[in-house]
């Protein structure tokens, strides 16, 4: 991983994501790009004139200064913070602007807070973070606002024993190996059957052909409620990071009565969530 894109709305909900992005980029020696997307007021946008152009330029300059001040304040002048690249963009919807910037900078990872600073707007328009999970061309790391970065030594990944899981785990090792972290792979089954055990053995064998990592551990859990069982496992393992694959179509992991598992983990989980999307995984 060479480039991280951190997106902020200046809210307190994005402070932990900034600190996480900074610390992780330092550990992996990755470039960090800090982005803020703003929207011109209707008054400014409706005035097509030289005055409008000057106000637009001024708005970009003001936001650039504010973004620098925001990062400086919350990183407390930590070493290397001056190397952050600052980017300001304007327009709506915000998630599309973030995606465009991720493509422009060839970002390997987008880092955001789990919630924005405007809950009313999010309720009406939908979460920017959730939209990024659905549409971003790279993984998205969503960081809760109460998380402190003390290093990443243990990560949990929920697998459904699909081929896409193997390719996702390959990508996870790009993060796991440099950090020398333990990767716990867990499958949650609604039935305690021999089939689940056989599937896990098959999966282990397939994975060994692709990934050579002694720090990978396999676990199988049973429970009628997938989300609750997974959450109990996470509480037991106490990882620093949870990784999941956003899937398309039916699967055991996605067979839930309401919101899909990744989005539930984003909104209800208490740990940083690293999400991949199946459409971005090359078979």
Query: In this predicted model, what pLDDT tens digit does every residue of 1-34 receive, in sequence order?
Result: 899 999 999 998 899 999 999 999 999 999 999 9
Of the residues 95, 117, 143, the one at which a domain ends:
143
pLDDT band at 258 (very low <50, low <70, confident <90, very high): very low
Tell me whether residue 66 is in a domain.
yes
Average pLDDT over residues 106-128: 67
The pLDDT score that the predictor gives to residue 9 is 92
Dihedral (C-alpha) 217, 220, 226, 231: value to the nearest 10 degrees? -40
Average pLDDT for the chain:
83
Question: Measuring CA to CA, which residue among 154, 173, 129 is closest to residue 241?
Answer: 154
More confident of the two residues 272 and 147: 272
Lowest mean pLDDT among 37-51, 67-81, 111-125, 133-147: 111-125
What range defines the domain where residue 106 resides? 3-143
Tell me whether residue 191 is in a domain.
yes
Tokens at residue 148, please? 């402190």
Tell me, what CATH number does 62's domain have? Answer: 3.40.50.620
Count other Cβ atoms within 10 Å, centred on residue 207. 20
Residues 134, 162 within the same domain: no
Tell me whether residue 91 is in a domain.
yes
Lowest mean pLDDT among 125-129, 131-135, 154-158: 125-129
The pLDDT score that the predictor gives to residue 22 is 95
Residues 13, 94 within the same domain: yes
Tell me whether residue 148 is in a domain.
no
Distances (CA, A) of 141 to 18, 82, 237, 274: 11, 23, 20, 4
Q: Which residues contact 109 (CB under 8 A, 6 or more apart)?
A: 1, 3, 4, 5, 138, 139, 140, 141
Q: Which residues contact 28 (CB under 8 A, 6 or more apart)?
A: 1, 175, 178, 179
Tell me whether residue 137 is in a domain.
yes
Residues 107, 227 within the same domain: no
The pLDDT score that the predictor gives to residue 239 is 93
Residues 271, 173 within the same domain: yes
Residues 139, 180 within the same domain: no
Q: What is the pLDDT of residues 64-96, one digit of tens each?
A: 999 999 999 999 878 888 899 999 999 888 999
More confident of the two residues 56 and 97: 97
- Judge contact between 152 and 239, C-beta under 8 A: no
Please tell me the total count of domains within the chain: 2
CA distance 96 to 113: 16
Identify the three-state secondary structure at position 156.
strand
CA distance 10 to 20: 15
Count other Cβ atoms within 10 Å, centred on residue 261. 22
Residues 126, 161 within the same domain: no
Of the residues 143, 174, 197, the one at which a domain ends:
143
The pLDDT score that the predictor gives to residue 65 is 95
């Amino acid at each position: 991983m060479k480039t991280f894109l951190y997106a902020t709305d200046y809210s307190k909900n994005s402070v932990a994501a900034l600190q996480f992005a900074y610390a992780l980029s330092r550990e992996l020696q990755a470039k960090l790009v800090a982005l803020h997307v703003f929207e011109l007021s209707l008054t400014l946008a409706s005035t097509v004139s030289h005055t409008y152009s000057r106000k637009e330029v001024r708005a970009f300059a003001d936001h650039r200064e504010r973004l620098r001040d925001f990062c400086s304040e919350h990183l407390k002048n930590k070493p290397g913070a001056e190397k952050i690249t600052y980017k300001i963009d304007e327009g709506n919807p915000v998630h599309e602007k973030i995606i465009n910037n991720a493509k422009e900078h060839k970002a390997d990872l987008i880092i955001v807070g789990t919630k924005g600073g405007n809950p009313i707007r999010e309720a009406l328009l939908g979460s920017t973070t959730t939209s990024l999970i659905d549409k971003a061309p790279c993984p998205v790391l969503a960081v809760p606002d109460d998380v402190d970065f003390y290093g990443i030594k243990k990560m949990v990944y929920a697998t459904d024993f699909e081929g896409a899981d193997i390719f996702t785990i390959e990508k996870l090792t790009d993060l796991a190996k440099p950090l020398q972290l333990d990767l716990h792979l867990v499958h949650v089954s609604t039935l305690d059957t021999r089939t689940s055990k056989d599937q896990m053995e098959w999966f282990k064998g397939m994975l060994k052909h692709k990934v050579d990592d002694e720090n990978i551990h396999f676990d199988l859990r049973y429970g009628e409620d997938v989300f609750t069982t997974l959450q109990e496992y996470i509480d037991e393992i106490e990882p620093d990071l949870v990784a999941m694959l956003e899937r398309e179509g039916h699967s055991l992991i996605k067979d839930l009565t309401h919101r899909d598992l990744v989005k539930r983990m984003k909104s209800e989980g208490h740990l940083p969530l690293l999400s991949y999307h199946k459409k971005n995984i090359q078979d």
